[in-house]
């Protein structure tokens, strides 16, 4: 009962405060509407989001803090064109579908280094601590002409926390919530002469919920807990004006329990470290040399006897040159990616493979008066699947200071994963990469109080890799007669609308709505677990030291299988956040999720059992951030 009263108070806060105007400055609400932010993901060079022709979203630290207590997937599911599914509660596998594409048709970077698993092709978003993240940039649509293989759906780039201020700062938080959840985070930033540096560490622990809803076996009815420890660090040495050397480090270790008829568990280790040398060779020529390694290692223990281990190491080298022209910037980049994979089952190694990729990228961005343009061309040479050439072209025109139209074309491809190629009794080494062509157009509007964008897209994917049965001559029997094949074409048509409106200095309404049709052209069936309609609506209010927001997330029905015979019902969720600024440095925050205790399903574990989702839950945190 007390939890219900508490969540109701969070949701109803604006009705409990004074209805008078506040004389303090609340310009942050209006500033959040402005599109003129800087992104590097859209073109690999700094560019204003106002003139970028691509479909870009930037998530800042303020929005990350608003959903504290949850995970990265809780933040991503609020973004335009993104759907999330999870196989249970916190720590269980999460999939991100961008514009209806598959979870493995997405490039994910941490501080510029790939963190996708080359064994599965997906990213363990559930194991990336939200408290270590400072900023997220999302580029929707094919981007292989900038980032190479796998960017059919888009790119998500995560930047770890660091300060831009020239003084020593400390920050941290502690929190507790439902399902015996406890968190802690602490970090600092400092500067000594020409050296800027910082580090942080984080911990998350929860007893969680049962991964399966109403499981048939007694042992699977237990709560499946999750814990995570992570950390990040950086240092930047300004050698001279226009010359700097920086190093970055990120690590996350998680352990989660899951339901499979026994007391099973899995561990996930992710690590990224890199060094970057930036040089302003001349007034018109900037050079960036980056070397980094991304690692992921997972271990699954399936009682009573089965153990499996998957390890990926991806060494990455980039040497990029940006030339400032009389109009625009010309970019030339060389990228090398070395992937080393090792897997084993019951201590017997079954995959030990490597593949290398060399690529050359040529790009051009320009903005002149009412016109903006983006061009990119890339050739990839891979030791496993040969050569691929991809390209992109975008154009934007400002009809007026408020109105802008854009149009863009991009091609992309996805490389088969090592599991799909070589896993015993499953993989097929003759698989070909998936290929796609995407066309999109947008209409944008912005003034001092209103921001709106309408984007239409049409993505054609060929040689889609999917599992097919019964057993064929190239498949074994370890996976119930299914193995990966190049089968079918997919067309994903859709439109995304997003906008924000500031009623005054205190109230702001933001939202997004996506309509899409991700269909297999051979069967005319919808792709599994993808809604045709989904939306988010966020209402925010600021009064003095109080900050309140409430959000509604909705999705239409989906099908859990490719045959479109098992229906997953649509749902709507109500969440809310309330924070109070105790003083300049301290802030108390409470967040309530699924306030109406909606019973909903994101994915099915079998034909009779669904994966579980969390009911009403609350989280309270005390936050310190030295100003």
- Tell me what pLDDT residue 487 has: 78
Torsion angle of alpha carbons 350, 351, 352, 358, nearest 10°?
Answer: 180
Residue 276, strand partner residues: 246, 290
Provide the pLDDT confidence category of residue 257 given band limits of 50, 70 and 90: confident
pTM value surpassing 0.85: yes
Q: Which two tokens stand for residue 251?
A: 């690590």
- pLDDT tier, 30 (very low <50, low <70, confident <90, very high otherwise): very low
Give the chain's domain count.
Answer: 1
How far apart CA 552 and CA 513 sit, in angstroms, is 12
What are the tokens at 210?
């049962």
The DSSP secondary structure of 518-529, one letter per residue, reads: EEETTT-PBPTT
Q: Helices marked H in 359-516 — which ranges? A: 418-422
pLDDT tens string 378-396: 999 999 888 999 999 999 9
> What is the predicted pLDDT for the residue at 350?
76
At residue 269, does pLDDT exceed 70? Answer: yes
* Higher-confidence position of 493 and 465: 493
Neighbours of 554 (CB within 10 A): 16
Work out the mean pLDDT of the chain and round it to a whole number: 89
Spatial separation of the C-alpha atoms in residues 162 and 165, rounded to whole Å: 9
Q: Cα 505 to chain center, whole Å?
A: 31
- Mean pLDDT check: name the lowest of 86-90, 146-150, 567-571: 86-90
Predicted confidence at residue 7, as pLDDT, reads 54
More confident residue, 212 or 425: 212
- How many Å apart are CA 407 and CA 252, to the nearest integer? 39
Contact between residue 220 and residue 88 where contact means Cβ atoms under 8 Å apart = no
Confidence category of residue 21, pLDDT binned at 50, 70, 90? very low
Q: What CATH number is attached to the domain comprising 419? A: 2.40.170.20
Token pair of 490, please? 């997919």
> For residue 2, what pLDDT band results from cuts at 50, 70 and 90?
very low
Peptide bond into 488 cis (omega under 30): no
State the virtual CA torsion across 118, 119, 123, 129 in degrees, nearest 10. Answer: -100
> Is the pLDDT at 18 greater than 80, yes or no?
no
Q: Which residues of 377-406 are buried (b: 16+ CB within 10 A; e: fewer)?
A: bbebebebbeebebbbbbbbebeeeeebeb
* DSSP structural state of residue 220: G
For CA atoms 432, 156, 83, 459, give the dihedral sign.
negative
User: Over the stretch 587-618, which tens digit does the pLDDT of each residue have?
Assistant: 999 999 999 999 999 999 888 899 999 999 99
Instruction: Report the candidate in 269, 429, 419 with the shortest Cα–Cα distance to residue 350.
Output: 419
Q: Provide CB contacts within 8 A for 134, sequence distance 6+.
A: 61, 64, 159, 160, 161, 162
Q: Which residues of 416-451 are buried (b: 16+ CB within 10 A; e: fewer)?
A: bbbbbbbbeebbbeebebbbbebebbbebbbeeeeb
Q: Largest alpha-carbon pair distance within the chain?
A: 75
**Statement: residue 480 has pLDDT above 60:** no
Token pair for 33: 């509407």
Say how far apart CA 125 and CA 535 lie, in whole Å: 21
Q: 3-class DSSP state for residue 127?
A: helix
Nearest partner of 136 among 161, 99, 166, 101, judged by Cα: 161
The domain in which residue 18 lies consists of: 2-625
**CA 537, CA 372: separation in Å to the nearest integer?**
31
Q: 3-state class of 314 per DSSP?
A: strand
For residue 81, how many other CB atoms are within 10 A of its CB?
26
- Residue linked to tokens 């890199």: 274
- Residue entry with tokens 């991009």: 410
């Amino acid at each position: 009962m007390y939890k219900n009263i508490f969540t109701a108070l969070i949701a109803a806060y604006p009705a409990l405060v004074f209805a008078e105007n506040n004389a303090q400055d609340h310009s942050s609400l209006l500033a959040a509407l402005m599109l003129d932010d800087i992104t590097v993901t859209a073109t690999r060079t700094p560019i204003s989001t106002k003139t970028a022709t691509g479909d870009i979203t930037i998530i800042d630290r303020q929005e990350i803090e608003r959903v504290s207590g949850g995970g990265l997937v809780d933040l991503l599911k609020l973004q335009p064109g993104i759907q999330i599914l999870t196989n249970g509660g916190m720590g269980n596998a999460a999939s991100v579908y961008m514009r209806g594409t598959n979870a493995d048709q997405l490039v994910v970077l941490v501080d510029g280094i790939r963190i996708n698993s080359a064994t599965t092709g997906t990213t363990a978003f559930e194991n990336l601590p939200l408290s270590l993240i400072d900023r997220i940039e999302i580029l929707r649509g094919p981007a292989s002409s900038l980032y190479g293989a796998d960017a059919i759906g888009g790119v998500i780039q995560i930047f770890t926390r660091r300060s831009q201020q020239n003084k020593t700062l400390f920050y941290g938080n502690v929190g507790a919530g439902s399902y015996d959840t406890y968190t802690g985070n602490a970090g600092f930033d400092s500067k000594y002469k020409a050296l800027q540096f910082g580090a942080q560490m984080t911990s998350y622990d929860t007893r969680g919920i049962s991964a399966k809803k109403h499981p048939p076996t007694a042992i699977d009815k237990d709560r499946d807990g999750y814990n995570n420890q992570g950390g990040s660090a950086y240092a930047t040495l300004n050698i001279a004006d226009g010359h700097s050397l920086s190093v970055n480090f990120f690590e996350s270790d998680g352990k989660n329990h899951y339901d499979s008829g026994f007391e099973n568990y899995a561990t996930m280790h992710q690590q990224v470290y890199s060094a970057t040398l930036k040089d302003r060779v001349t007034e018109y020529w900037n050079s960036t040399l980056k070397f980094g390694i991304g690692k992921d290692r997972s271990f699954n223990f399936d009682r009573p006897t089965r153990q499996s281990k998957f390890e990926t190491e991806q060494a990455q080298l980039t040497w990029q040159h940006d030339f400032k022209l009389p109009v625009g910037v010309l970019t030339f980049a060389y990228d090398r990616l070395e992937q080393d994979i090792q897997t084993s089952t019951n201590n017997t190694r079954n995959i030990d493979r490597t593949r290398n990729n060399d690529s050359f990228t040529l790009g051009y961005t320009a903005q002149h008066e009412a016109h903006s343009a983006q061009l990119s061309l890339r050739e990839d040479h891979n030791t496993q699947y040969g050569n691929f050439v991809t390209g992109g072209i975008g154009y934007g025109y400002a009809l007026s200071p408020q109105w802008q139209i854009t149009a863009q074309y991009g091609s992309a491809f996805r490389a088969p994963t090592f599991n799909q190629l070589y896993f015993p009794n499953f993989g097929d080494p003759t698989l070909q990469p998936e290929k796609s062509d995407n066309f999109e157009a947008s209409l944008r509007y912005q003034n001092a109080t209103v921001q709106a964008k309408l984007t239409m897209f049409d993505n054609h994917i060929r040689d889609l890799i999917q599992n097919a049965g019964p057993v064929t001559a190239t498949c074994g029997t370890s996976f119930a007669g299914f193995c990966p094949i190049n089968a079918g074409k997919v067309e994903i048509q859709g439109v995304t609308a997003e906008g924000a409106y500031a009623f005054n200095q205190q109230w702001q309404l933001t939202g997004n709505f996506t309509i899409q049709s991700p269909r297999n052209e051979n069967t005319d069936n919808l792709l599994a677990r993808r809604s045709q309609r989904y939306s988010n609506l966020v209402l925010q209010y600021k009064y003095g030291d109080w900050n309140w927001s409430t959000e509604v997330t909705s999705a239409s029905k989906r099908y859990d299988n490719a045959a479109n015979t098992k229906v997953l019902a649509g749902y709507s969720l109500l969440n809310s956040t309330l924070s109070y600024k105790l003083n300049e440095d301290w802030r108390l925050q409470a967040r309530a999720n699924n306030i109406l205790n909606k019973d909903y399903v994101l994915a099915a574990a079998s034909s009779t059992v669904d994966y579980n989702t969390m009911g009403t839950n609350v989280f309270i945190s005390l936050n310190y951030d030295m100003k």
